[in-house]
Amino acid sequence: MAFDLGTPVNTALLLYILYSIQRIIFPSNSVPQSVPNEFKNGYTWMPKSHPPTLLYQTYTPKTLEPFNGKEGKRILLAIKGVVYDVTAGRNFYGPEGMYANFAGRDASRGMAKQSFDEEMLTPIDQPLDKLEDLTAEEIENMKGWMEHFSSKYIVCGKLVENDAV
């Protein structure tokens, strides 16, 4: 070069200036090969997965029972044949919660009678609780709980007899 810079510092600065000028006059038009999954990594991006959506399924007392929150599973609970996903309320219905009895079970009688005792639950291999001996007031109470659950949690299935599937 005719222009002698003489020092490495000047050479380095000159190279940086030439590089910057090149980037400004010839901007990059490269498109990344794969679409990034984070918006920090590019303007054109796609989230990795769809927003979570539950599949509406038909459960029996036997298939509902595993969903009691143990080992990180979802927590489901049924009232009058409607199955709710109460995983968001793990504090209440999870393994250490106050109402853990209801997890994975038909909680209709307990909701009606406002009790969390074991005797409110029917064993899994027996037919579903017909709820015939409830008073009108208890049925009102149960319906109130169903409304509360419908607004707070997700309706994700229905509960039928063991042999109905």
Partner 1 sequence: MALSDYLVTDDLTIILALVAAGLFLLHNLYKPQALVHPILLGRQSDVARVRNPSESAVYRNYGTGMLGRFPLRPTKDQQVLLDLVKPDADAPRTLWSTKITNPQLRERAANFGAGLVRVAGLVPQEFNVLLLLNDGIEFIISDLALASHSVPSFTLSSLSLLSSVLESHPPSLIITEAEFLPHLLELIYDSNESEHHSIVVVGDVSASQYRQVQNVKIVHWDDIERQGASLDKPILSTPEPSDVFTVAFYETPSGGYDGVQLTHENITAGVAATRALVPPSSALSPLDTIVSTHSLSTPYGRAIAYTALFEGTGFATVDSTKLIKPEGAASLTGLKDLRTSGSYHISSPTILFVHPHHLSSLTDTVLEEARKSSWLLYNFAWRHKLAGILEGYITKQSLWDRLVFDGARVKVMGKGAGTVRAVMVSGAPLEAQALTPSRIALSVPVINVHSHPLAAGPIFASHALDLQTFPPAASSSPSASAADAYAFTYLAPVGPPSVNVEVKLTGVDDAAVEGGADPVGALHVRGPSVGRPLSAEEEAAEEDQRGWRITGERAKVAPNGTFKVSVAGKA
**Cβ atoms within 10 Å, residue 131:** 14
CA angle 58, 134, 140 (to 5 degrees): 75
Task: Compare residues 33 and 133 and give the one whose CB is closer to partner 1.
Answer: 33
Q: Minimum distance from CB of 37 to partner 1 (Å)? A: 9
Look at strands 76-79 and 57-59 and give their pairing: unpaired
Among 1, 29, 136, 164, binds partner 1 (CB under 8 A): 29
Among 20, 114, 115, 135, binds partner 1 (CB under 8 A): 20
Q: Minimum distance from CB of 89 to partner 1 (Å)? A: 15
Interface mask toward partner 1 for 51-90; x: CB under 8 A: xxxxxxx---------------------------------
* CA distance to 116, 131, 132, per residue, from 127 (Å): 20, 12, 13
Q: What contacts 10, CB < 8 A, 6 or more positions away? A: none
**Binding range to partner 1, per CB under 8 A, among 22-30, 65-73, 89-97, 138-146:** 22-30
Query: Binding of partner 1 at residue 28 (CB under 8 A)?
Result: yes
Tokens 């949690």 found at: 153
Query: Binding of partner 1 at residue 17 (CB under 8 A)?
Result: yes
**Cβ atoms within 10 Å, residue 53:** 8
Virtual torsion, Cα 145, 149, 151, 155, nearest 10 deg:
-130
Query: Binding of partner 1 at residue 98 (CB under 8 A)?
Result: no
Q: Minimum distance from CB of 134 to partner 1 (Å)? A: 27
